[in-house]
Amino acid sequence: MPQRTTIFVSYCHRNKRWLDRLKVHLKPYDRRGDLDLWDDSKIDPGDRWHTAISDAIDRAAASVVLISADFLASDFVAVHELPKLLHKAERAGARIIPIFVEPCELASHPELAAFQALNSPNKPLAEASRVEAERVLVRAVEAIGKLLASQRSAAPPHAQRSATMGTDAAGDAFEELQSASIALSALWALAKAPHQYTLSELEDALEIRSRKRAYDALNKLSMSGWIEKQRIAGFTRYRLTEEGSRQLQRLAAASDGPVRRAIALR
């Protein structure tokens, strides 16, 4: 049986009704055994709550953040949850999915504002009609569904080979080609861009399904000196270096057919 993917929910208890609605929308995934939707209600009496929360965040492939003024004012969230969520997003490529549930402002939280929310802070769930609020939650389910699909496709090769690949060599080749395609796509996008990209912007622009694979590809390119990471106003942004531009032109010249046309610089 495939391992369940953990999605962590960070919220304040005043906003529990929105957590409850999210659980309703995600119930089919839970019933199939695909999803472990984790929130602090899963801490049993006698558990070390700090350890339980830290372990859940470490396991989580993504986190849904239900944002309100109470959430931002919570010392518990500010000290024990949000820093670890942001650190994992920065260092391991875990996705953060913000949803505004009540009016608030993020001017003093640029690190959280860096992530694309599913709704506008000017139209939080509490001010939306019931149908509008449900549609935002549906978008959350769709985002999580795509993530679960990407987790399955990115599973260790031995979990898929018997059904789809047949041999170890085929699995290794597939993995290498998939990683290379993401790296090439990222280089191409950075070469064309008039501005620097964040990881989330690259994901959206290239329709990358696996944030972890995208993060790994960018990290390798950065270590090679082909791209450069810069921290600007709380955002980690990527740009193509002169060495990266030179190497991309070299790749274009050395490639044949459609690959050469796809990556050639104009």
pLDDT tens digit sequence for 172-216: 676 778 778 888 888 888 888 767 888 778 877 887 767 777 877
Domain ranges of the chain: 5-153, 159-263
Q: Same fold for the domain at 5-153 and the one at 159-263?
A: no
pLDDT at 99: 97
- pLDDT under 50: residue ranges of the chain: 1, 158-167, 265-266
Model pTM?
A: 0.61
pLDDT at 25: 96
- Among 58, 61, 45, 79, residue whose Cα is nearest residue 6: 61
pLDDT at 163: 44
pLDDT at 68: 96
pLDDT at 199: 79
CATH number of 5-153: 3.40.50.10140
Are 80 and 86 spatial neighbours (Cβ–Cβ below 8 Å)? no
CA–CA gap between residue 87 and residue 41 (Å, rounded): 23
Distances (CA, A) of 116 to 43, 73, 95, 143, 186: 29, 21, 10, 12, 19
pLDDT at 65: 96
Distances (CA, A) of 34 to 90, 149, 176: 25, 10, 26
Contacts of 6 (CB under 8 A, 6+ apart): 36, 38, 56, 59, 60, 61
pLDDT at 247: 81
Second-level CATH architecture of 159-263: Orthogonal Bundle (1.10)
pLDDT digits (tens, 9 = 90+) for 121-138: 999 999 999 999 999 999
Contacts of 152 (CB under 8 A, 6+ apart): 2
Are 104 and 72 spatial neighbours (Cβ–Cβ below 8 Å)? yes
Are 221 and 244 spatial neighbours (Cβ–Cβ below 8 Å)? yes
pLDDT at 262: 61
pLDDT at 263: 59
CA–CA gap between residue 235 and residue 115 (Å, rounded): 9
